[in-house]
Amino acid sequence: MSKKQILRREILKLRDGLLPEERGEKSKRIRGKLFALPEFKAAKTVLFYSAKGSEVETKRAIKKTLSSGKKVGLPIVKGKNLFFSQILQFGELSPSTFGILEPKECRPISLDKADLTIIPGIAFDTQGNRIGFGKGFYDRFLEKIPERVLKIGLAFELQITATVPKTLTDIPVDKIITEKRIIKCNQ
């Protein structure tokens, strides 16, 4: 078993061990920090992920962002890639690939139009490196996103580790928001 696989298993066990109330409270604190960021306030187009299982909950953040008048995009899995589609309301989403909520209708959002993207992960280090589920969807997405687009990882503090195994092609996030802090990653 690789270092990534071991770390993925360990962190998932910890994250899955959070009680639903605890996860909800921590997600609320993370949401508050996200909404307070000057970059988030200034953003016109935000790309989110739709949380599943024990991930940081994003439904309320998506709804609030929509109600603030910002353009919101969520990913659609096509083959081995993610394509982002604009949603106008949360109710447009339905379970699709891997049981993740995806937009029903395709209103493509060009990555050039994005100002900020919210990135999921199982483990992060303070340099912005991340481990996902190992399918590479977000790794391929991060290769395509313009450098000027702010990349923010949402994580519970227990998902932050000293180092995450990485490759030369891995693209780190710029900031990580946990319930306790905002980490400005060293680039």
**What are the binding residues?**
4-8, 55, 130-138
Binding residues for substrate, by number, are: 55
What does residue 177 show for φ and ψ, rounded to 5 degrees?
Answer: -110, 125
Burial class, 17, CB count within 10 angstroms (exposed 0-12 / middle 13-18 / buried 19+): exposed
Q: β-pairing, 175-177 with 150-154?
A: parallel
Tens-of-pLDDT digits for all 187 residues of the chain?
788 889 999 999 999 999 999 999 999 999 999 999 999 999 999 999 999 999 999 999 999 999 999 999 999 888 888 899 999 999 888 888 678 887 876 899 999 999 999 999 999 999 999 998 878 788 888 999 999 999 999 999 999 999 998 887 788 999 999 999 999 997 5
The reported pTM is: 0.93
On whether the CB atoms of residues 73 and 85 are closer than 8 A, the answer is: yes
The annotation places the binding site for ATP at: 4-8, 130-138
Indicate which CATH number applies to the domain containing 152: 3.40.50.10420
Amino acid of residue 87: I
What's the distance, Cα to Cα, between the start and end of the chain in Å? 29
Q: Domain residues for 54?
A: 3-184
Count of the separate structural domains present in the chain: 1
Find residue 85's DSSP bridge partners. 74, 108
